[in-house]
Amino acid sequence: MKKISIQEVAPRDGLQNEKEYLPTESKAELINRLSAAGFDKIEVTSFVSPKAVPNLRDAEEVFRLIDRNPNIIYSALVPNERGAERALSVKVNEINLVVSASETHNRKNIKQSVEDSFNRFKEIMAMTKMEKVQINGSIGTVFGCPFEGEIQEERVLQLIEKYLDLGVNGVTLADTTGMAVPNQVFRLCERLFTYFPQLELTLHFHNTRGLGLANVAEGLRAGVTKFDASLGGIGGCPFAPGATGNICTEDLVHMLKFMGYEVRPNLDKLIETSKFLEAHLGYELPGQIMKAGIISELYPI
């Protein structure tokens, strides 16, 4: 039975895009519930400017409130040196760097060129050299950009090479606006493993056009074993037109479990936690399993 790692991103990628601010204590309770459900990694928050993402202005407080499980990596997105300082002050387990494959999206999202982003990453790597922290490098708009359209595979290969030259522990490829299609995912991932056979690769899909889990299936076929997902299917990039939620964690876990894969998260606890999140956000979440139930549930005639 092949083990698949599930990395929960709702507390960061999900909540950053919400219209209403979720109180700090509720965020901490959500993360504690996710920890109890069992994950390989939880992306807790982002150490960005509160003006840019006001929903995550309480990053330090959230990290100080949560109960950490030593078997879970607690990660945070960091855009610059100031963010790295803040993240290190609360002893994050992992810093997640992010750059877009699209120059246009990077300037819109990060307010700088791709080259400038990597220059900042060099400074962050220098800052963390003596720290006990992992570094992950994420690449957004890998499978398409709403401003530039198609992204060439060579561009993705070049950016992965730049990250590996920096010394990152792993790389995440993100379908930021849900433009990926299954055969594209398989083709790119198969090619990546040919060039970088030891690459610690994570796929991060959005379900913007309903293809999220189909794309996961093709990632699995290519040999990928790590996937990001967001509880209830919440999330989306606030700097891209039409971007909607990430693939739903409980739907992903349900699919993998009944396909015969080994996954850590407890499905019943995920469904309970998704209902908890739905109650706190005050609207119906897009996840399907919390509504329909798992396929092994039978009903009387």
Catalytic sites, residue numbers? 237
Gap between the Cα atoms of 155 and 191, Å rounded: 13
Bridge partners (DSSP) listed for residue 226: 5
The closest alpha carbon to 138, from 59, 46, 60, 209, belongs to 46
Interacting residues of 97 by C-beta distance below 8 A, sequence separation 6+: 77, 78, 121, 124, 135, 136, 137, 138, 163, 168
Which tokens hold the place of 212?
A: 């999220």
At 83, which amino acid appears? Answer: G
Gap between the Cα atoms of 146 and 242, Å rounded: 9
Q: How far is CA 244 from the centre of its chain?
A: 14
Gap between the Cα atoms of 166 and 290, Å rounded: 41
DSSP 77: E
